[in-house]
Amino acid sequence: MDVAVRASAAAATAEDAGHGRATARRRPRVGVVKFASCDGCQLTILDVEDHLLEIAERFDIVEFAEATSRRSSGPFDVLLVEGSISTPEQAVEIARLRAEAKLLVVIGACATAGGIQALRTAAEHEAFRAAVYPVPAYVDSLATARPVADFVQVDAELRGCPISPEQLVELLVSLTTGRRPQLPDQAVCLECKRRGIPCVVVARGLPCLGPVTRTGCGAICPAFGRGCYGCFGPRENANTAGYAQALVTGDAAAGADGRGRDPVDVGRLFAGFTGATQPFRSVTDSLAGRPPVTLRPTLASPPETLRAGPPTWGPAPSAPEAPSAAAAKEAPDGPRQ
Amino acid sequence: MSVATEVPTFLPRDRFDDLLQALAAGGRRVVGPTVADGAIVFADLERAADLPAGLTLATAPGRARLEPLPAGPGARRTFQYTVSGEGIKKFTFPSRVDALSMTTDLAGTVRVKVEAPAEPVPLAVVGARACDLAALAVHDRVLIGGPAVDPDYAARRSDLLVVAVECALASSTCFCATMGTGPEVTTGADLVLAELDDGFVVRAPSAAGGRIVESLGLAPAAPERVGKAAAQTAAARVAMGTDAIPANARDLLLANLEHPRWEAIAERCIACANCTLVCPTCFCTGQTVTSGFDGVTSTAARTWDSCFTDGFTQVAGGNFRPRHQDRYRQWMTHKFATWFDQFGTSGCIGCGRCVAWCPVGIDVRAELTAFAATAPAVAAVPLRDRGTLQPLAPPAPDALDFRRATVVSITPETADTSPLRLVTDDPAILAGTPGQFVMVGVPAFAIPPISISRYHPDGIELTIRAAGAATSFLTRLRPGATLGLRGPLGRGWPVETAHGRDVVIVAGGIGLAPLRPVIDAVLRDRAKFADVRIYLGARTPRERLFVDEIEALAAREDVLVRVTVDRAGPEWLGRVGIVTQLFKTVRGTGTDATAFICGPERMMAATATTLGDLGVPPEHMWLTLERHMECGVGLCGHCQFGSRFVCRDGPVFSAAELGDDLRREGL
């Protein structure tokens, strides 16, 4: 599920972009929270050094346990959520936080796709617990680790393991200016080509998930002569079945002998940090001879926290609010205006 | 011309550094093939030792691996491969170019600065092949051949010295001999090298090349060396053959746009875009807007884009090419068919990069051959008649410049749609015609194309529907704010062709906005037209536009107005239904009518069908298309619709011009 920030995510008025700038506006209250995750994405927030002062100036960071002892349980104008939902308590807590947040942004592979811990979705949960913990009864975990969007409405997502600092800044800038963040959904391949990185599939015969993975990382792995391992998750319309087939037949990334790869190995290639997403998981299952699983069932009912409008810090716009991105998508093709 | 141009000379291998020094004279940057990241990469070339000595590139569909040359006298050759993954395009047409910057000051005044083109950096490219030069000629036609000119390309192209290498072998992926572009280097080079085991036979087709040969004091090449060089290139030609693709590829593709093979290709195609990005003639670009936290400064950069991406054809209402098969068909038909209509040449130059660098090894030659096998006899498809598609007003040379306009008033018409009244003193914009559009720039946002919905003596109106972030922002502007306008662009409604004829105007929803100048023009010269009928559809009564104006029109004796809505509430006493149902209640439009239609594409197609049944000739039915646009002048490639650039050849087309394409899925 690609969740674009709603069309006018931040309630920017004409004044916001300098057209008679308003002064003394309340800074949006920002929280950063985590669930099942490694904190790497939170560290990325601290890693945008050149922008930290600007961010602190424009956003009121009221909750960010990784960075400050100041605490808040809400409400939040913007809530950044790291981690997947892995325990019953987390499922309750994310619903509470959703109610406190005007704009909920999930960050990182765990929050957007389940993360590496979601691999247990394809295994026997009880057997796992028994194998890992001496007294499994002490551990109260859900059978699956799932992305936040499986539990509550999500307004935007930043992908990656960890997220890209550039995309984080882009998101924050877009919130202050009221525009849609530019988070491309196309393949990593475009970034490789723009950077002039020779294709590792063609030139080295490496299995690389770049063709089916969303760009945003700057093609880091191919730049160092490695195949992409898909941490940004599936790109738009990813033809994972076609690509996996080519890896098996040897049409793609054949070895020196021209032969393809073992199907199970190809399946494992897709079973990484975002392996619990439907386009990747379906390949892993089919190559391992497992029956297909439908992931991310539709929410039984719309979460109560689903709100129609954008958040409303700062002066209210005088014109009617824009329709949501979802509404715009539903509209029939309009003529050019 | 120097005498050196006539006589082939010989450059001993150990003097290649002298050649590089001669090229670098006067501070010229010299680039050529080097080895990096397990591949041949064009980069700065300081010494002959940087060349890929003793290596070849073994290519096959989906494969391009560096391999050592076999032992023997030629084992230290430096150009013993054909094309690398990237040609010289990255130097003449870089993957990222800053296009413009925009700022807003505290008074709300927008300043748009079109970035100056790159300083013309004197550049020498060593190791371009015949196919690379053919590709350069194609880019020249596309990017500086007009009507619009890419200033950045023009600057980079202005001082380029080309040292070409004639291929001594052909890879399995090469097919330049079929495309008529190689392997012999015939045009476009200043120097042509043919590599032998101990050095290079050098030809100097240009005066600049001749001066370099003279400065090096090279001796004439021995006839046996010249003969040997010619023989190895001739052998490369023989190895490739000249029948890699069917001779009637263009006709085959255009006759088989709905062939089941497209779907079969799409199962293998992963739409990674690599074929388009390694292609030396692909020229599509997108704009990436970045802005600061202040929201008042932003930069738009032009980056390589690809018709294989989802965003390429995305508009607020949906995507015109959602499926991989639509995208593959666009790529292949553009290269081998519609490029001829657009630029009078093939878009493919036979370098085979798309074959070798396709990660899953799809071979365009095999695909074209498969089309030939399943549809052997097709009629020749004539080139599109460019005569009828010439823009009424070709873009001016400064078509990429922005003019400033000031918002005078903004009055919401419906919940999401507001006409923006602008004043400007730009004579070009004021002289625009009905149906033309402008690109609208405000800092931090993408630059949308908006059609002009009314002309005033001192400005224009734009009717904006808040469909995306940029248009939402525009509907919230206040009087006094300024914005940047680029235009007027495109070919508008040919209102004068309706003189003496009945006029039928059909609008769906916001489609009324681009037709409003037609209504204005017809009423201004009412006597020149026979019957005038206006049919309007809206989704709901609340979404009707310009209600007061339309009621005033309906009150006139000399205009017939009919309005219908898709869904009505109890307050609506008018008609309910789709707009085409209105004609069935009205007698005889017929052969003497000229129709102007605007609305969702499906509504326009249905209207064209209904009007056609009533006898309106297709060449007298005009409609306007919406497509994703980034440049508006035919340079960015996004708005292609078959052989047409909607921005430049349209957006207004006749139903006759569009033919079957109007109803074709995924075009």
pLDDT at A16: 42
Indicate if the pLDDT at residue B2 is higher than 50: no
* B268 neighbourhood in chain A, CB within 8 Å: 242, 245-246, 251
**Same domain, yes or no: A91 and A154:** yes
Give mean pLDDT, residues B202-208. Answer: 96
**Count of residues making up chain B:** 667
Claim to verify: residue A142 and residue A208 sit in the same structural domain: no
Phi and psi at B486, nearest 5°, equal -125, 120
Task: Quote the minimal CA–CA distance from B58 to chain A in Å.
Answer: 10
DSSP string, B553-622: HHT-TT-EEEEEESS--TT--SEES-TTHHHHTS----TTEEEEEES-HHHHHHHHHHHHHTT--GGGEE
CATH number of domain containing B531: 3.40.50.80
Q: Closest-CA residue in chain A for B411?
A: A319
Min Cα separation B371/chain A (Å): 21
What is the structure's pLDDT at B119? 73
Residue of B nearest to A55 (CA): B293
Same domain? For B188 and B282 the reply is no
Q: Do A335 and B600 touch (CB under 8 A)?
A: yes
Smallest CA–CA separation between B633 and chain A, in Å? 16
Model confidence at A3: pLDDT above 80: no
The predicted structure's pLDDT at residue A319: 34
Q: Is residue B124 in a domain?
A: yes
Q: Tens digits of per-residue pLDDT, B342-358? A: 999 999 999 999 999 99
Asked if residue A141 and residue A62 are part of one domain, the reply reads yes
Note whether B454 and B517 are same-domain residues: no
pLDDT-wise least confident of A301-305, B126-130, B220-224, B554-558:
A301-305
Contacts of B144 (CB under 8 A, 6+ apart): B150, B153, B154, B157
At residue A205, does pLDDT exceed 50? yes
pLDDT band per the 50, 70, 90 thresholds, residue A309: very low
Residues in contact with B453: Cβ distance below 8 Å, sequence separation at least 6, in sequence order: B419, B460, B461, B462, B463, B513, B514, B516, B517
Q: Are residues B362 and B407 in the same domain?
A: no
* B227 and B83 within one domain: yes
Verify that B422 and B375 share a domain, yes or no: no
Please determine, for residue B396, whether its predicted confidence score (pLDDT) is greater than 80: no
Same domain, A18 and A133: yes
Whether residue A298 lies inside any domain: the answer is no
Least confident span in A309-323, B231-245, B429-443, B498-512: A309-323
Are residues A163 and A281 located together in one domain of the fold? Answer: no
Domain match, B432 and B524 both: no
Q: How long, in residues, is chain A? A: 337
**A252 to chain B: which residues are within 8 Å by CB?**
62, 359-361
What's the pLDDT score for residue A258?
84
Q: Write down the pLDDT at residue A142.
A: 87
Same domain, yes or no, for B293 and B174? no
Residues B471 and B530 in one domain: no
Residue A175 lies in a domain: yes
Q: Which of A7-16, A126-135, A236-245 has the weakest average pLDDT?
A: A7-16
Distance in angstroms (rounded) separating the CA atoms of residues B512 and B510: 5
Contact assignment for A18 to B105 by CB distance below 8 Å: yes
Q: Which of B472, B566, B641 to mutate to test the interface with A (most CBs of A within 10 A)?
A: B472
- Residues 51-110 of chain B with CB under 8 A from chain A are 61-66, 85-86, 90, 95-96, 104-108
pLDDT confidence of residue B86: 84
For chain B, positions 328-357, list CB contacts with chain A under 8 A.
356-357
Check pLDDT > 70 for residue B575.
yes
Give the H or E element holding residue B415. Answer: none
Tally Cβ neighbours within 10 Å of residue B192: 27
Of residues A197, A251, A322, nearest to B360 (C-beta): A251
Q: Are residues B536 and B614 in the same domain?
A: yes
Both A174 and A205 in a single domain? Answer: no
| Residue in A with minimal Cα distance to B511 | A335
Q: Which candidate in B44, B103, B360 is best for mutational testing of the A interface (most A CBs within 10 A)?
A: B360
Instruction: For residue A164, list chain B residues with Cβ-Cβ distance below 8 A.
Output: none
Q: Is A221 within a domain?
A: yes
Strands across the sheet with B9-12, in order?
B39-44, B29-36, B123-128, B160-165, B191-196, B199-203, B9-12, B219-220
- What phi and psi, each to the nearest 5 degrees, are found at residue B191? -130, 145
Q: What is the CATH number of the domain that holds A78?
A: 3.40.50.700
Percent of chain B, pLDDT > 90?
73
Q: State how many domains chain A has.
A: 2
What does the pLDDT look like over B97-116, one tens digit per residue? 988 787 776 666 777 777 77
When pLDDT is cut at 50, 70 and 90, the band that residue B395 belongs to is low
Question: Nearest CB to B95: which of A17, A189, A194?
Answer: A194
**A6, pLDDT greater than 60:** no
Residues A63 and A124 in one domain: yes
Strands (E), B180-284: 191-196, 199-203, 219-220
Mean pLDDT of chain B: 91
Domain contains A207: yes
* pLDDT confidence of residue B99: 80
The residue from A183, A208, A239 where one domain ends is A183
Inside any domain, residue A199:
yes
State which residues form the domain around B96: 3-240
Among residues A248, A263, A287, the one where a domain terminates is A287
Q: Do the chains contact at A236 and B310, CB–CB below 8 Å?
A: yes
Same domain (yes/no): A172, A244: no
Whether residues A42 and A73 share a domain: the answer is: yes
Interchain pair A190, B304: CB under 8 A:
yes
Asked if B256 and B148 sit in the same domain, the reply is no
- Give domain status of residue B639, yes or no: no
Nearest alpha-carbon partner for A63 in A53, A51, A55, A73:
A73
Cβ atoms of B442 and A17 closer than 8 Å: yes
Domain membership of residue B394 (yes or no) is: no
Chain A residues in contact with B293 by the CB 8 A cut-off are 51, 54-55, 58, 172-173, 176-177
pLDDT at A1 over 70: no
Q: Are residues B450 and B566 in the same domain?
A: no
pLDDT on residue A119: 85
Distance from the A93 Cα atom to the nearest Cα atom in chain B, whole angstroms: 32
Indicate if A153 and A207 belong to the same structural domain. Answer: no
pLDDT-wise least confident of A7-16, B70-79, B231-240, B541-550: A7-16
Q: Where a domain ends, among A138, A163, A183?
A: A183
**Beta carbon pairs, A and B, within 8 Å:** 285
Higher pLDDT, B583 or A113: A113
Of B293, B360, B412, the CB nearest to A320: B412
Total number of domains in chain B: 4
Q: Nearest CA of chain A to the CA of B30: how many Å? A: 18
| A225 within domain boundaries | yes
Task: Indicate if A171 and A193 belong to the same structural domain.
Answer: no
pLDDT in tens, B30-39: 999 999 988 9
Q: What angle do CA B390, B302, B139 make, to 5 degrees?
A: 50
Task: Out of A16, A236, A337, name the one closest to residue B464 (CB).
Answer: A337
Domain coverage including residue A24: 14-183
In chain B, the residue whose alpha carbon lies closest to the alpha carbon of A196 is: B86
Report the alpha-carbon angle B66-B67-B73, nearest 5: 130
Return the pLDDT at B294. 78
Q: For the residues B244-271, what does the mean pLDDT come to?
A: 93
ipTM: 0.92
- Per the prediction, chain A carries an average pLDDT of 81
Q: What pLDDT sits at residue A4?
A: 33
Tell me the pLDDT tens digit for each residue of A117-163: 998 877 788 888 888 888 888 888 888 889 999 999 999 999 999 99
